Structure 1
């Protein structure tokens, strides 16, 4: 395994769902039906934020940190099916390998036809505001807290200097045995611990 930098724009489940679903250019849900109220993770209430208002105006669905994998996947599926219906080629053999019942499809990553991406732009899920470096003034500090949380669970990683992601310390045993479902669980818990409610 190489020691290449890992970019973590979203929780790993979202990133994995994006890669498997073939969402070109996205780093990235219950279907919110286009509403964009962001649940306040500190209070549990659904209070609209400035980013939520902007998302609603754009008609794009808003991912939230507290969404589970199925909820996120429903939003990505809506976007991917729109792309397919507007002419982006589905990679049927890869789609057939998706988990049963997930509805996931794999798409060609060429970015063509461009008109499909324009037509489906209002269905492309927005990052949770907490994970958006432009919207969260505490992003770099919280990203460091996230990395430290994963390190505390055995991963041998460190934050990149620009705070954009992390890289492995040890190419021989980079995850410290934290893989698969165990990694997914740690990633979700560390994301919630590092980013929720900190202002």
Structure 2
């Protein structure tokens, strides 16, 4: 299944204030906007885009996880990811404190923001099939997918590239 990714922010280094950073893709279109994460109400959360690279998503996720750990959230040993079950009051407090660093999924992947979400999701599944991935949508439709009996002969890296290409193709505006 595909997964959402998490976020971070940069510092200008002079006085400790957080500043936004903007990465530009080769097309000249910004690939990821990472605003200040000083607010805990979520109003300044970074927005992940469909074309955000896997490397950038990983960097942002690790930064968010580091914030959680720094604020006392329990983490899985050896994995560095936060415990998700039976959250304690300390875990909840850390999540609230770090909310400004947790990125939002691309709006195209949000049913509430994309009125064509189910049509786009159908196109996404078709694209995965067309690229040699035997996947089956899970129920309810549009919530995820799993491999069918044919699976996929591609490497993990290739599957990630196909997945991103198909998301951009199916959910993108172009």
- Flag whether TM exceeds 0.5 (same fold): yes
Tell me, yes or no, if the aligned pair for 2:8 and 2:60 is still in contact at 8 Å. Answer: yes
SS in 1 for 2:119: helix
DSSP-derived class of the 1:125 partner = coil
Match of 1:180 in 2: 156
Root-mean-square deviation (Å):
3.2
Name the structure 2 match of 1:141. 119
Question: For each residue in 1:137-157, what CA deviation from the matched residue of structure 2 results, as whole angstroms up to 9, or x when unmatched?
Answer: 111111111110110122222
> CA-to-partner distance for each residue in 1:39-91, whole Å, 9 max, x for gaps?
9xxx9479x9xxxxxxx970111111111112112221221111101111334
Q: Are positions 1:70 and 2:48 aligned together?
A: no
What does residue 143 of structure 2 align with? 164
Say how many residue pairs are matched: 151
Unpaired runs of 5+ in structure 2?
11-18, 34-40
Q: CA deviation at 1:107?
A: 3.1
Judging by fraction of residues, say which structure has more helix: 1
Aligned ranges 1:1-199 → 2 under 5 Å: 6=1, 12=2, 15=3, 27-28=4-5, 44=29, 58-92=43-77, 94-95=78-79, 105-110=80-85, 111-112=87-88, 113=90, 114-160=92-138, 161-170=140-149, 173-175=150-152, 177-197=153-173
- Rounded Cα–Cα distance in structure 2 between residues aligned with 1:109 and 1:145: 31
Q: Give, in whole Å, the separation in 2 of the partners of 1:120 and 1:130.
A: 24
TM-score normalised per structure 2: 0.71
Structure 1 runs (4+) deviating above 6 angstroms are none
Q: State the structure with bigger RCO (CA 8 A, min sep 6), 1 or 2.
A: 1
Change over 3 Å in CA distance of 1:32–1:106 after alignment to 2: closer
Give a deviation string over 1:105-155, Cα, whole Å, max 9, x none: 333334332111111111111001111111011111111111101101222
1:35, distance to aligned residue in structure 2 (A): 5.4
* Consecutive unaligned residues in structure 1, runs of 5 or more: 1-5, 7-11, 16-26, 49-55, 96-104
